Amino acid sequence: MTYAEFRDNGYNYFDKNNNILFSVDKMHNYLLDYIDANLSCLPKILEQYITQRIDASDFELKKYKNNIEKINKIKELLISAHPYYEYEYKRTIIKAIGNYFNELLLYSVFFQKTLPLNCTLDEDWYLEKLHVLIPSSLVVAGDYPNNFSPFDFYHKYKIWIDDRGYQAGEIEESLIPDIPSEMPIGFSEELRIQEIIRNLLFQTLCISQPLKDLTNSDITKATLPSFYEINNLQELLQLEIANMSLANTVVKRCENCGKYFIPRHKSQKYCNRIDETGLICAKAAKKKLKKDRLQNNPALKIYETAYKRNHARKKNHIISQKQFNSWQHKAKKKLMQVEEGTLDISVFQEWLKK
Ligand SMILES: [Zn+2]
């Protein structure tokens, strides 16, 4: 069990021994990175992992294949999406494997009909398969997370079957709702949570905009209780968004990298992330803008080249500072004339060559 203690526009997340696991401040960077994190390859990796260990049609175990690198990749992806997963990845992955296994059974039994129902209801048969699928690196000394042992998943599977009266064989299959008609998608719960949080953040931001004018009213003095028991990432992030809403937090999209951030002042356009060019967003945007201006202005481009050449000449004492200043003054004047259309660019180019 983990806990979160909320304070003014932020919170601490900690374990049962009161150790702080991570903290969130008023910039809410973890949440804003999380809603943009790319989790879309998780289902594919899980499917590859499972079908390397088991035949997806008859559920025969394959010759033992130690494909633990797939699990490590999943762990890495989860943790890079949100630090919550650093402490919860074992439970998250075991849950995803168990749920996927159950859905795959339903799909094979009822839709593909490659597997007889009775065989899947045999407890030994079921547990043998699922034990092979849950990697031992996630289970220290047989210690499964609460509600997520192979037996718990077997129990859930059996209840699903019992609830629909399949064992009695009295009910027409085609009349039963929620028989999976497509290959199941792994990690559907984690993907769903991300979608919910993304939508919730947008909705909350929209309705929080008018509140900005009421900064001194009683509405903004509302507070949340500060202490919470946290059962999953969705709970934690919903509380965080409520906390942001009460603090009238405004979120913007960075005009450089497109990710969300919380501006320190109204006119801030860029976040403090490092973009793919290795520069902080504001600097990267400035560089791009300059490049665009040069590309759209051939006269400025040839001026810049000549400027660099003359600057180097000055540095190497080929021309004096005075000569350089005089050149720059004239060159700028001519550049302006080209831009105004009173001087031909080819004449300007010839002059610069001198
Ligand atoms: Zn940015």
Pairing of strands 227-230, 252-253: unpaired
Q: CA 96 → CA 74, 107, 198, distances in Å? A: 11, 16, 21
Distance 257 CA to ligand 1 centre (A): 4
CA of 198 relative to ligand 1 center, distance in Å: 18
**272 CA → ligand 1 middle, Å:** 6
Q: pLDDT (tens digit, 9 = 90+) per residue, 141-198?
A: 778 988 999 999 999 999 988 887 776 555 566 566 677 788 899 999 999 999 999 9
Residue type for 318, please? I
Q: How much is the pLDDT for 172? A: 61
> How far apart are the C-alpha atoms of 257 and 233, rounded to whole Å?
26
The angle at the Cα of 110, spanning 107 to 113, to the nearest 5 degrees, equals 90
pLDDT per position as a tens digit, 80-134 = 999 999 999 999 999 999 999 999 999 998 888 888 888 999 999 999 999 999 9
Please name the helix (run of DSSP H) or strand (run of DSSP E) that holds residue 21, with its range, or none: strand 20-24
Report d(CA 56, CA 105) in Å as an integer: 9
Express each pLDDT in 301-321 by its tens digit. 889 899 999 999 999 999 999
Cα of 10 from ligand 1 centre, angstroms = 21
Residue type, 348: F
pTM: 0.78
242 alpha carbon – ligand 1 mean position (Å): 24
Q: What distance in angstroms lies between residue 254's CA and the mean position of ligand 1's atoms?
A: 5
